[in-house]
Every structure is written in structure tokens, then in C-alpha cells.
Amino acid sequence: MSKLSNSLRASLDELARACRVLELEGQGDRVVGHMAWRDPEGRGMWMKRAGVALGEIFDSRDFILLDFDGNKRSGEGVKHGEWPIHSEILRLRPEINATAHTHPFYASVYSSAEDPLETVVPRSTTQPIRPPRFDDGHDLICTPDVAGAMVKTMGNNYAVILRNHGIVTCGAQIEDPVLVAIALEKMCHEALTINASGLKFSCPKDEGLLEKLETGKALDPSIIGSKIQWAYLCRKLARAEKAGDPRLTTEPIPITD
Amino acid sequence: MSKLSNSLRASLDELARACRVLELEGQGDRVVGHMAWRDPEGRGMWMKRAGVALGEIFDSRDFILLDFDGNKRSGEGVKHGEWPIHSEILRLRPEINATAHTHPFYASVYSSAEDPLETVVPRSTTQPIRPPRFDDGHDLICTPDVAGAMVKTMGNNYAVILRNHGIVTCGAQIEDPVLVAIALEKMCHEALTINASGLKFSCPKDEGLLEKLETGKALDPSIIGSKIQWAYLCRKLARAEKAGDPRLTTEPIPITD
Amino acid sequence: MSKLSNSLRASLDELARACRVLELEGQGDRVVGHMAWRDPEGRGMWMKRAGVALGEIFDSRDFILLDFDGNKRSGEGVKHGEWPIHSEILRLRPEINATAHTHPFYASVYSSAEDPLETVVPRSTTQPIRPPRFDDGHDLICTPDVAGAMVKTMGNNYAVILRNHGIVTCGAQIEDPVLVAIALEKMCHEALTINASGLKFSCPKDEGLLEKLETGKALDPSIIGSKIQWAYLCRKLARAEKAGDPRLTTEPIPITD
Amino acid sequence: MSKLSNSLRASLDELARACRVLELEGQGDRVVGHMAWRDPEGRGMWMKRAGVALGEIFDSRDFILLDFDGNKRSGEGVKHGEWPIHSEILRLRPEINATAHTHPFYASVYSSAEDPLETVVPRSTTQPIRPPRFDDGHDLICTPDVAGAMVKTMGNNYAVILRNHGIVTCGAQIEDPVLVAIALEKMCHEALTINASGLKFSCPKDEGLLEKLETGKALDPSIIGSKIQWAYLCRKLARAEKAGDPRLTTEPIPITD
């Protein structure tokens, strides 16, 4: 790999940390799931390499540079077949810089339901409100065409649920898709749990929640809340790594093309 | 911060331990949730600072002294916007000295249900019997007016459920809101589980349970049960900290205003 | 305490291990739950002392000798109010030597249901078949009269479910009530889970299962299965203690009367 | 035991690792559950010895060589009564070399349901599509006759659900039954969860999924995906062993016939 600038390497190390936080927070599913980040030099995107788990992404060396047609431009390792998920979001939404695709348990289960996701417990600006659902024919999203249709369904949301599959989240900052994915998984867990109880329940109207979003409270890079949440997750990650959480690596996993 | 007396520092260290016990027992929700304690010198209340998790409250330095109008009188760090929850309880209920607000999973989910919470498994005097539910319009409780309405709904109970939000608990001793919050979360988990089963079930009548409360068995500071439970939780906390539980800090988190 | 014979001390150390295995396997509920064992010298029973959790019972010093009227004959520490549960079983069933009372989550929840417990997954001879349910008026069982009624309901079973409360299990060997309690909790978890699914399901007829029990396959001290299971649980406990499981003590908890 | 060739010992060490991975991934159930592997020299099969848990199978010494009539040919330790499960699969299906029988929680619960298992979240080629269900009369499978009927029900699938009991999985490679068992348990958990929610949901048609299987994408030894998943699970196992997971041994368990 050509030598990275210090600034780029630092960003990719942060992206690696974002992958491990996803694993820590229950978004891992064996070696599937990935993140990508817009290359600051305009060459395309840096994407997690395939073959290792989110919790095994150690540092900048675990990312490969792909242009938006999926050609590898730099880095070692194999690319995930679902790279178009990331390239199409980044191509079509200039305000987005970071993206994630995961299979968390409850959101994946919930993805098979017909009704829109309700917000049982409004919690913070990182929660996606009534995220749209995309039907990818329950297969991987491996072509720019299918990925493009997904981005269209996604609209200007920060999350889309993939029917019978998983979720895709995104945002301006590296940590945004992580925070949105964590919030979305919890929302699905909550919705499944209250529905399962058979109890009569009620949720706040989406209008009030959307208003918060629209007045700029949500995922705005200037919102201190996100940075504080992120700093917390990084501290917790460091403690989990020190304690030897088996999902997390504390050394690089050798790359074997 | 002006130097604390030994006695005050010891109490705040105990309050810090109470925050970590909440985290240990599953009441944590990222950096949200907080506790407060009536200042023994009549200046207001000591409240957990914002920006760190309950499990990261290390010692007396993690609390700030606020008067009941929310003005900071001592201590370093940022205050949570929901400080009126605590000030209004302490202002309106002189028998209460300690308060907590958390978002435990099952209680938060249950808060969206319509029916009163039944007591599936009466367990101890720390259980709140049929706690009232307050509808805060599914927003944060950030004004004395809304908090005052909450305290009115709460009555002389030790717990109130916040609809589509979480719970608030309180008591005379530092450990009381912790014990009540733990019991309430378990009650909600039990109620959700038995309702979800679809099986026909029955619960004891509230009258008998309330009688126990009214005859002074509940949360009376002289009840040995609470002190014994608390001592147990502190021992368990110490073992969890030794084992490196990633939710718990074992050193102070730097304060950055 | 008068000096214990080596043999008695060894048995009480094993009883302590049984308490910790209960905790390890999810039967703990703060400082409540207890075990007892028939004194081999005919003086009554050795019962876990109060004030500490099952996982904190370290060795022979954590038991007190009570006669069947509840008088303390030896040992340090406080007795649990529910001692009659044990004394009445041991008094009325000479084939039983060991008893346990716990509040495991799923069995406690299931105890509120009306219908008999079905055996979704017949697993081993340690499973109680269609255990009877005793309604103790959802209070503690603190008198020989109530406990005697419980024993009558229990019949010749190795387990009884206490409505809106928990479970009581017993057997000839120290490990038997532990194995039965673990099996019963799993049975309740399974029954709640399949019922919650709303799916049509079927369970084996009790007759075939009872036949196994009646032909002496169940809880007979000669059954190798039980000893092997027990040896496994002791190995797992040793590993959990080495790893620092916060529920388990690795040193004596001081006794404070 | 007669001295093993280096190659055979290496394979059995890998089989031991497969047993521990099953435990790590939640397939353990005390000392029950087992794996077997076709002897490369045509003498029958190597089967996990009885009396220890899957997580306690340390290396080649924990397997015994049985011929297909259940006679012990080599190795130390006791055989499980359910050895015919493995011998009949290996006898009747020459393309299969590795087999597993486990009692994972959700699959065991699901086994009592009447309807075919739906694929809520198609995930990878290791998922069994609509696995058949065998009714063994809710007893152990301890005779070649019953096991033969089970193999007939299984057909050319890689998994069969045993009604009110557990699962059996198999494949060409040592890791295949492990990967299939993990996927099947997750499928059952997903199916139970979405059904429990009471929400209207839909699953992909089996035809499309079966097509993938039939076009050779599934469990074909040449599929890189399986090897990558397996390598990941082995890395995670190594980390869990280092962290002291109490379910996993890090030294041989003495053999006591």
C-alpha cells in the first residue's frame, strides 16, 4: 500500500474503532457486515476488507480503497461483494461520508414484518424515525443497480431496513452510522418485545419526532450528544479489549488474499 | 471545588457506588440516567455530572452541587438537562433524600403499555406496588413545571413510570432508589414475559401487598433487608470491577466542561 | 462452633459448592434462596445462613445447625425465616436428605400460570414431571403449618412450584436439588418460549415420562448420569471462579450476626 | 490407544476444536451432545467420548474409535448411547464425513412445533433450508433401526430436527456440521421471535433458496465462505479460551472409565 498521510491513517484507525464498537454493541454476525468512509482525496471510499469480523478490524491496514466502480486502488485484502451499498450512497448523497451495513439480531428479524417500525421509546437524536424498508429480493446487494434502488428508497434518511436481511445506516461523521445502527437495533428489540407482550400500548406520533429531526437536532455534526456518546463507546471498547472480550482482537489479523 | 468535609465526601463516594451498581444491574443506557442526593447542609442537591455513564461515576468528584433552581454551586462538570426531576422531588417530599432516573430496557418498554403494572412475583419490600405512570409527552423532563406534575402523579410512591421513556425512583437512603429501580425493572420483565406467553395467569391482589407497605415494612430505613441487599450489591460490584467488567470504570474519567 | 468431624466438614463444603453452582446456573436472586441438608448425626439440618447470596457460600462455616423446630444448635450467622420449608420436608420424607428453595426467573414467572407445566423437551432423569403447584398466598413460607401443607402438595415429587413465588426441590444426595432446580428452570423457560411463539406445538404424553421415573431411572443415587452432571458442574464452577465471575466469592464473607 | 499417525491426530485435534466451537456458540447442554468423524482408514468413526461437555473436549485423546456396530476399536473413555445417530449417517451417506448432535435452546424448543421452519433471514450457504423433522418418540436414538429411520427422514439434507429433542447436522468437512448447527439454531431463534411478536411478516419462498443449494453453492467443500467462517470461529475460540470462558477447558479432563 502506498504510504498513508498521518491524517488519513488516523481517520482509518478511527474507522477501525467504529467497526469494533459495532461488534461490541451486538451488531456483529460472523465475518459479515462492513463499513466504508469517503476518501478525503476524492478517489472513492475506504471499505473494511472481507474475511474477518467487525471486531477483528484492527487499524488502517484493514481497509481497502475502492473507486465507485468497485476497482481496488490501494490496500491489501479481499473486497466484500456488497461494496455497491456503500459506493451508491456516497455517490448519490454528498452530505454522507460514512456508511455501515450490519445484521443485528432484532433488526434482522423485524425486517420481515410488514408494518412500519414504531418508536416505542424515543431516546435521542441518533434514532432513525420510521426508517423505510427496502426489498432486495432477500439476496445480497451486489450491483450498483440494486444498490441505487436502495438509496432511492432510503431518501434522506440515515437508515434503511433491508427486508429479510439487515440494515444500512449512514451519516456525516465516522461514528454516525454506528450510533444510528445501535439505536435502530434497540428500537427493533423494543418494538418486538412490546408487540410480543400482547398488551395494549401506544407510541408517540411520528410528527413530533420528525419535527425534532427537521429542526436539525438529529445527526447534525455540531450536536455534542453524538460526540459524547461516541467518546463513551470508545472508553467502553477500550475496557472490553483490556478484559479480553473474545469478539474483539487486540492484534492485527494477518491478511491472506 | 471547595474542600469537602470527610463525611460529605464519604456520602458522595457512596452515591458514586450507587451509580455503578445501577450500571452493574442493567440500568445503564449509554451516558444517560442519573442520581441525586439532598445536600446535608441545605444548599440543594448533589447530582451526577453529565457526559459519562452511570458505570463511570468514580467518586465524589463526579457530582455537582445544584440549588433547587438548577444553579451550580460547587463541583466541576456539566449538568444534565433533566435536573428538575430531582430538585422537584426533593423540594416537595422532605422524607426523600435520594433519587434516580434511568432507562432500563424492560421498564422502558413496559412504560408504553396502558394497563397498570401487576406484581407477578412479590419479592421484597423494595418492590413498588402498582407504580403510577406519568405522561411527559415523551420528551425529556427539563422544566420544574413538568417535573412538578410528575411528582404530583408520583404521590407518596417510591417509583413512577414515565410513559415511553423510563423510570424515576427515590427513597430516604442513598441505596433506596437503586433497590427500587432494580426491583421495578425485574417486575416489568416478569410482567412482559408472562403476558407474552399467552398463558392464563393470576397475580396476588394489590391490597395485601399494599398492606405490607402501609404497615411500614417497605423502605423503612430500619429494615435490615435493604441494608443487607445493599451490602451484597456492593460486594458484587467490587468483584465485577476486579474482573474488568467493561461497563465499569476503575479510574476517574477526566472532566471536560 | 464445636469442631466438626472431617467427614461432616467435607459434606458441608460440598453443600457450599452446591449453593455456588445454583448461583452459577442462574438460580440466584440477591441474598435470597437457600439450601439445607439433613444432619447425619440426627440433630436436625444444616442450613445456609442468611444475609449472603448463594454464590457467596464459601464453605462449612456458612451453615448453621437447626433442629426441626428451628432452634439453632450450632454455627454462626442468622437463619432465614423460611427454614420450615426444609425442616418439614426432612421431617416428613425420610428418603430426602437435601433441599433447596430458589427464585429462578422463568420458573418464578411460570409459577403464576394456571395450567400444569408441560415437558417440551424431555432431557434427563433430573427433570421433574408435571410438578405440583402450591399456593402459599404469595407470602414467605415461615411456619411449619404452611410448610407442612406444601410438603403434602409436593407428595413424592422432587419439586414443587410455589405460586407467584419460586420453587422448592429436593433429593437424596446433596447435588439432587441443584440438578432438579436447573432442569425445572429450563423446562419453564422452554414452556414460556414455545407458548409465546403462538405456534401450534405438541409435547410427549406424561405417561411415558412418568414410567421412566417409576422404573427407578430418576434421581436414584445409582444413576451415573447425575454424578456425571454434577462433576461437570463442579468443573465449570471452578473455571468460573478462576475467571472471576462477579456472582461468586472466592473467599469467606465475614459473618455479622 | 495405539499410536495415531500425525495426520490422524491433527484431524482429531481439529474435531476437538469443533466440539469446543459448538460450546462457544451456545450449542452445549451439560455433558450431552456429541460429534463424530469418519475414520480415514475405513475402520468406522471417531466419536467424542461421554461424560464431559463439548467444551471440555481438549484434543485427539477425547475420541474413541467405534466400528459401525458400536464396538470400541481404539481409544479410552465411555461411548454415548446415541452412537447410532452417527454410524447410520456415515454408513448410508458416503458423501458425509462429519456429524453432530446437539440440544441448542431455540432449536430444541422449536422442534416441538408443527409447521415447517421458515427462513426469516436468509444468511449464507450454511443454512439448512426447511430441514425435515423426525419424531423419535421423544426418547434417545439408541438403536440402528431408529437411527436408520432418522437418516431416511433426513434425505440428502445437512440437518434434521428431532421432535421434542434437538438437532442432528452433518457435512463433508469437520467444520460443516458445526456451521450448520449454528445457523439452524439462529434460524429457530429468529422464527420464534418473529412469530412471538404477533406482527404480520413474510419470508422468502423456499424455491429460490433451494435453487442456491441445488446449484452447489451450499456446503460444497470448495466454498470459500465456509472456510472463512470456520477460521473466524477458531480465532474467536482462541480468544475465549485465553479470557477464561468457564464453559471451555484449557487442559485435558482425566478419563475415568
Lowest-pLDDT range of B37-51, C38-52, C199-213, D15-29 = C199-213
B232 to chain C, any CB pair closer than 8 A? The answer is: yes
Nearest to C21 by CA among C126, C174, C170, C171: C174
Residue D160 near chain A (CB below 8 Å): no
Separation between Cα atoms, residue A167 and residue A183, nearest integer Å: 12
What angle is formed at CA D184 by the lines to CA D182 and CA D190, rounded to 5 degrees?
105
Provide the CA B12 distance to its chain's centre, in angstroms: 15
**Helix (H) or strand (E) segment spanning residue A83:** helix A83-92
Q: Report mean pLDDT in 10-residue bins for chain D, 257 residues.
A: 86 98 97 97 97 97 98 95 97 96 98 94 82 81 93 93 95 94 97 98 79 48 67 97 97 88
- Return the amino acid letter for B4: L
Q: Please spell the DSSP secondary structure of D173-206, one letter per residue.
A: STTHHHHHHHHHHHHHHHHHHHHHHT--B----H
**Inter-chain CB proximity D189 and A249 less than 8 Å:** no
* Chain C neighbors of B196, CB-CB under 8 A: 192, 196
Element holding B160 (H helix, E strand) = strand B159-162
Closest Cβ–Cβ partner in D196, D202, D243 for A112: D202
Q: Which residues of A touch D232 (CB under 8 A)?
A: 30-31, 52-53, 56
**Could you report the per-residue pLDDT of B8-48, keeping only the tens digit for each?**
999 999 999 999 999 999 999 999 999 999 999 999 999 99
When comparing pLDDT for D109 and A227, which is higher? D109
The answer for residues whose C-beta is within 8 angstroms of residue B54's C-beta and 6 or more apart is B19, B20, B22, B23, B27, B28, B33, B34, B35, B48, B102
pLDDT tens, C5-33?
999 999 999 999 999 999 999 999 999 99
Band of pLDDT at residue B222, cut at 50, 70 and 90: very low
**pLDDT tens digits for range B107-133:** 999 999 999 999 999 877 788 888 999
* Band (A2; pLDDT cuts 50, 70, 90): low
The whole-number pLDDT of residue C142 equals: 86
- B129 HSE (CA, 13 A, CB side): 20
B237-252 residues labelled b (16+ CB within 10 A) or e (exposed): bebbbeebbbbbbeee
Q: What's the pLDDT score for residue C257?
A: 61
For residue D171, give how far its alpha carbon lies from the nearest alpha carbon of chain C (Å): 26
Residue of C nearest to B204 (CA): C138
**Sequence-ordered list of residues with C-beta below 8 angstroms from that of C79, at least 6 positions apart, any chain:** C47, C49, C50, C64, C66, C70, C72
Residue B218: is its pLDDT beyond 60?
no
Taking residues B57-79, report their average pLDDT.
97
How close, in Å, is residue D171 to chain A by CA atoms?
Answer: 20
| Interface touch D192/C193, C-beta < 8 Å | yes
Residue C204 touches partner D, C-beta closer than 8 Å: yes
Q: Three cell numbers at C51?
A: 444475609
Using a CB-CB distance cutoff of 8 angstroms, which residues of chain D are in contact with residue A192? Answer: 193-194, 196-197, 199
The verdict on a CB contact (< 8 Å) between B109 and A242 is no
Nearest to A165 among D121, D189, D198 (CB): D121
Contact C228 D31 (CB under 8 A): yes
C236, D244: Cβ pair inside 8 Å? Answer: no
Residues D119-152 have pLDDT tens digits of 999 877 788 888 999 997 756 788 999 999 999 9
Residue A33 has pLDDT above 80, yes or no: yes
Chain B residues with beta carbon closer than 8 angstroms to that of A201:
112-114
Predicted pLDDT of residue D2: 61
pLDDT digits (tens, 9 = 90+) for C113-127: 999 999 999 877 788
Q: At what angle do helices B176-197 and B224-243 cross, to 10 degrees?
A: 80
pLDDT tens-digit map of C52-78: 999 999 999 999 999 999 999 999 999
Distance CA C174, CA A234 (A): 47
ipTM over 0.90: yes
Contact D113 C200 (CB under 8 A): yes
Instruction: Convert the pLDDT of each residue in D3-44 to its tens digit.
Output: 899 999 999 999 999 999 999 999 999 999 999 999 999 999
C-alpha distance from C118 to closest chain D C-alpha (Å): 11
pLDDT in tens, B225-246: 588 999 999 999 999 999 999 9
C chain contacts of residue B201, beta-carbon cutoff 8 Å:
112-114
DSSP letter, residue C54: G
**C235 part of contact set with chain D, CB < 8 Å:** yes
| Residue B194 in contact with partner chain A when CB distance is under 8 A | no
Residue B165 DSSP one-character state = T
Average pLDDT over residues B198-214: 77
- List B32's β-bridge partners, or say none: B29
Q: Decide if C9 touches B, using CB distance below 8 A.
A: no
Cα dihedral C139, C144, C149, C152, rounded to 10, equals 130
D81-113 burial, b at 16+ Cβ within 10 Å, e below that, comes to ebbbbbbbbbbebeebbbbbbbbbbbbbbbbbb
* B243 touching A (Cβ < 8 Å): yes
Q: Does D92 touch chain C (CB under 8 A)?
A: no
Q: Do D121 and A114 touch (CB under 8 A)?
A: no
Q: Do the chains contact at D240 and A253, CB–CB below 8 Å?
A: no
Interatomic CA distance for residues D88 and D101, integer angstroms: 13
The backbone torsions φ and ψ at residue A68, rounded to the nearest 5 degrees and listed phi first, read -75, 0
Q: What local confidence, expressed as pLDDT, does residue B224 receive?
A: 45
Higher pLDDT pick, D254 / C129: D254
- Determine whether A187 is exposed, middle or buried from the number of CB atoms within 10 Å of its CB (0-12, 13-18, 19+): buried
Which residue's entry shows cell 482509518?
A12
Contacts of B50 in chain A (CB under 8 A): 228
Flag whether residue B211 sits within 8 Å of chain C, measured between CB atoms: no
Q: What is the pLDDT of residue D226?
A: 82
Q: From residue C20, give the alpha-carbon distance in Å to each of A177, C24, C174, C175.
A: 43, 6, 13, 11
Nearest-10 crossing angle of helices C6-24, C176-197: 10
Grid coordinates given for B159:
417509583
| Cα–Cα distance for residue pair A86/A66, rounded to 1 Å | 10
Q: For residue range A111-140, what is the model confidence (pLDDT) as tens digits?
A: 999 999 999 998 777 888 889 999 977 567
Residue C35, classed as helix, strand or coil, is strand
Whether the CB of B189 is below 8 Å from some CB of chain C: the reply is: yes
